[in-house]
Amino acid sequence: MLGGKALSSGSEKRSGLSEMKKKQGPPAQFITTQFNSILGWARKYSLFQYPFITACCGMEYMSAACAHFDLDRFGAGWTRFSPRQADMLLVVGTVTQKLAPVLRTVYEQMTDPKWVVAFGTCTVSGGIYDNYAVVQGIDLVIPVDVYIPGCPPRPETVLDGLLKLQEKIQHQEQEWRWKKRKP
């Protein structure tokens, strides 16, 4: 597989599920875990992405989203340009200090459940621009789920990052409206 691997941060792979198993008794535990994995499966394969494109990685995003290397094969092809209808905030390209408040506003206006994918080295760590104008990594501004390295990352790395995010969603402890949230 070409290029670097995408890395999903804080991947509580198995931990989310196992905690839940200990809490309830056998029959209730079976229902909730089944319900949880169904919900995870449903959310995993219908990710609507909000492409927050700023710089050169946008060109690579165009290739990754278009016919040649298709994002749509994994259910994430449908780009929604309003945060109200998007699940995944795809931050593509350098985020400068002037753009940071815009990024935080868009992130906060996204509806839950939401995930963030950092696309390209500039979003992961500021990349080759270590100077007064660039935010050194968008995890200073918003919490990030998956980091995709590369400047720009090859479309295959982007697909790999997407698969890592889907895996994380599948094994995550799902949320729903009246669920007793952890204190």
Partner 1 sequence: MFLAFAVFGLLGLMLIFMNKFLGPSRPNPTKDKPFECGSPYLRDEINPFPIKFYLVAFIFLLFDIEVVFFFPWALIFKEMLASALIVMLAYLFVLVVGFIYAWRKGAFEWE
Partner 2 sequence: MTRIQKEARPDTMLLNMGPSHPAMHGTIRIMLELDGERILNSEVEVGYLHRGFEKTCENRTYFNLLIYTDRLNYVSPLINNLGYAMTIEKMLGVEVPERAQYIRVIMSELSRISDHLTCLAAMAMESGAFTVFLYKMKAREFIWDVIEQTTGARMTTSYIRIGGVRADLHADFDTVLKTAIVETRKVLKDIHGLLDKNKIFLNRTRDIAVMTPEDALAFGWTGPCLRSTGVYYDVRKAHPYLTYDRLNFEVPLGERGDNFDRYMVRMKEMDQSLRIIEQAAQRLQKTPAGVLAQAFEPAEAIKASRLKRIKGGVNLSPNLEGSERDKYPGILSADKSYVIPPKDDTYTTMEGLISHFKFFMKGNGIRPPRGEVYFSVEGGNGELGYYIVSDGSDRPFRLHLRAPCFHIVAALEQLIRGRYVADVIPTFGSMNMIGGELDR
Partner 3 sequence: MEEKKTLDLLKQTFPAVVKEASTNLGDDVVIIDREGLLGLANFLINKPHEYTMLLDLTCVDFLGQKPRFEMVYHLFSLPQNKRLRIKARLEENDLRIASLTSLWKNADWLEREVFDMFGVNFEGHPDLRRIFMYDCFEGHPLRKDYPLRKRQPCIKFRE
Instruction: Check: CB of residue 82 under 8 Å from CB of residue 44.
Output: no
Name residues contacting partner 3, limited to 106-145 (CB under 8 A): 130-133, 135, 139-143
**Rounded least distance, CB 96 to partner 2, Å:** 6
- Verify binding: residue 65, partner 3, rule CB under 8 A: no
Instruction: Measure Cα distances from 70 to 44, 75, 85, 126, 134 in Å.
Output: 17, 10, 21, 27, 31
SS3 117: strand
SS3 111: coil
Name residues contacting partner 3, limited to 73-112 (CB under 8 A): 97-98, 100-101, 104
Rounded Cα distance, 58 and 94, in Å: 10
Residue 117 phi, psi dihedral angles, 5° rounding: -115, 125
- Verify binding: residue 140, partner 2, rule CB under 8 A: no
Q: Residue 132 has what DSSP assignment?
A: T
Binding-site partner at residue 108 among partner 3, partner 1, partner 2, none, CB < 5 to 8 Å by type: partner 1
Choosing from 105, 128, 140, 143, the residue that interacts with partner 1 (CB under 8 A) is 105
- Verify binding: residue 98, partner 2, rule CB under 8 A: yes
Closer of 112 and 130 to partner 1 (Cβ): 112
Rounded Cα distance, 72 and 64, in Å: 10
Rounded Cα distance, 90 and 36, in Å: 25
Binding-site partner at residue 1 among partner 2, partner 3, partner 1, none, CB < 5 to 8 Å by type: none
The residue ranges that bind partner 2 (CB under 8 A) are 51-56, 58-60, 62-63, 66-68, 81, 93-94, 96, 98-99, 102-103, 106, 128-129, 131-134, 151-152, 154
The residue ranges that bind partner 3 (CB under 8 A) are 97-98, 100-101, 104, 130-133, 135, 139-143
